[in-house]
Amino acid sequence: MELIYFKTRDSLLCVHLKDIGVIKAEGNYSRIYYLNKHEVLLTVGIGRLETILRKKTDDYHFVRLGRSIIVNHKYFQKIDLQKQTLELSNRGLNTVRINIAKSILKSYKDAIEKSLIIKRERLYDNR
């Protein structure tokens, strides 16, 4: 299990990477939303946190959406452009829905569709 520890003046916080659904920037802080609806505020900016995640995770599933949001793509479930929501879920056990600007969601949707087309083409090329 991949863990990251954050030290503050008075405490030590353990973050379980596999359970993170969304990370949102809040000024110089970052708020982590776990799939079980638990949330934690870190005294680390989202840019620094993204660097830490890249170094610490063997199987990197985090995707930066715009300036202020990182999502765990492993839990991607649904994009609703009309409602401007992104839904993440771990096989229906826990679900997180977040509101994101339509333009950012559209870019994410297009990237997912493009990667699926490339994977499908590779599959057919290997036959």
Q: What is the pLDDT of residues 35-65, one digit of tens each?
A: 888 999 998 999 999 998 888 776 678 999 9
pLDDT at position 73, please?
92
Tokens of 121: 């083409």
pTM of the model: 0.83
> What are 58-96's pLDDT values in tens digits?
667 899 999 999 999 999 999 999 999 999 998 878 988
pLDDT at position 26, please?
95
Across the chain, the runs of DSSP E, i.e. the strands, are 3-7, 12-16, 20-26, 29-34, 39-42, 62-65, 69-72, 76-80, 85-89, 95-99
pLDDT at position 81, please?
96
> How many C-beta neighbours within 10 Å does residue 70 have?
21
Question: Looking at 79-83, 98-102, 114-118, which range is the least confident one?
Answer: 114-118
Structural domain count of the chain:
1
Q: What residue numbers bound the domain in which 103 lies?
A: 3-125
CATH of the domain at 54: 2.40.50.1020
Residue 127 has pLDDT above 60, yes or no: no
Q: pLDDT over 90 for what percent of the chain?
A: 50
